[in-house]
Structure 1
Amino acid sequence: MALRNIVTKENDILYKKCRTVEKFDERLWTLLDDMKETLYKAQGYGLAAPQVGILRRIAVIDVGEGLIELINPEILDPEGEQRDVEGCLSCPDVWGYVKRPYSCTLRAQDRNGNYYEKRLEGIFCRCACHETDHLDGKLFIDLVDEFVEPEE
């Protein structure tokens, strides 16, 4: 495993739509392992492939329930609403309130290409939506309805 550099909002790659993953091989597994290590080192909740310079539909999330790998994720059946402060590893020291669904169904593939579905709520749903936005070239700062000062 290796740490990857996290690109920041000034990098054009963050504004491009990612391509679907079609090959589930050792190269993908290495990327997933590197993203996991990078996420934990950065102390974030989620990390999407474009944040490490790769235009593929891949993300990793850990909101305290263990790491989940998302390959070709889709957000289905969003319900309710939550408004809370978000940040992003690609937007250091920027925080703001964003509205997201309270719950959703996540449909994705694992590292071997097997599909799975998981019903998500709260912070887990928020994080999955945030990371999926990255895969579509969207940053949370475009959704913020009120920016807040970072805590010291």
Structure 2
Amino acid sequence: MAVRPIRLFGDPVLRTPAEPVTDFDKELRVLIKDLIETMQDAPGVGLAAPQIGVSLRVFVYDVDGVVGHLVNPSLDLSEEQQDGDEGCLSLPGLSYPLKRAKRAVAKGFNEFGEPVILEGSDLLARCVQHETDHLDGVLFIDRLDPEQRKLAMRAIREAEWAGQTVRVKTSPHPTRGKAL
């Protein structure tokens, strides 16, 4: 298991919809452990596989002391909204107010392919929505109102990490196009 580099804004993997997981195998379990270690090292409350360069529909979370993961999630959201600041490990140091659904029901699978239902409100609901957005190639700044988005883009251009790239090792082993 390993802490992996977190991809930053501008990396194309963050804008690419992730592929569904089809193999619930040891590689997936290693990926989930790496995601958890990377998230906790950052530290963060959630991390999606594309944020470490893996274009698969998997995310992990650590909310109120509960650590978990979800594979191939789909969401049902409440109409009731919540206000709150939101940030992202791929946009370090930035945080903006963003409305999200107050409650979320996420359906997916665990690391063994068994069905899982994750229900939550407030921070857990926000986290599940944020991480599922990552799996769809959407960043939280895409959901900001136009004025806030303009401020965010200015802050990104001025950030010390702007334009940095992450060196990625490539393996000679076939991974069906996935950076596992």
Give how far 1:144 is off. Answer: 2.0
- Within 5 A, what are the aligned runs for 1:20-59? 20-59=20-59
Match of 1:126 in 2: 126
Is the contact between residue 78 and residue 104 of structure 1 (CA under 8 Å) also seen in structure 2?
A: yes
Secondary structure in 1 matching 2:5: coil
Match of 2:7 in 1: 7
Identity of aligned residues (%): 37
Q: Which has the larger radius of gyration?
A: 2
**TM-score (normalizing by structure 2):** 0.79
Match of 1:68 in 2: 68
Matched residue type, 1:20: P
Runs of 4+ in 1 over 4 A off after TM superposition: none
Report the number of matched residues.
149
Match of 1:16 in 2: 16
Secondary structure in 1 matching 2:133: helix
The whole-number CA distance in structure 1 between the counterparts of 2:78 and 2:53 is 29
Matched residue type, 1:107: K
Is the contact between residue 79 and residue 104 of structure 1 (CA under 8 Å) also seen in structure 2?
A: no
User: Is 1:109 aligned with 2:109?
Assistant: yes
Secondary structure in 1 matching 2:29: helix
Match of 1:138 in 2: 138
Matched residue type, 2:35: M
Matched residue type, 2:63: V
Matched residue type, 2:127: C
Matched residue type, 1:79: E
Match of 1:93 in 2: 93
**Structural RMSD (CA):** 1.4
User: Any gaps of 5 or more consecutive residues in structure 1?
Assistant: none
User: Any gaps of 5 or more consecutive residues in structure 2?
Assistant: 156-180
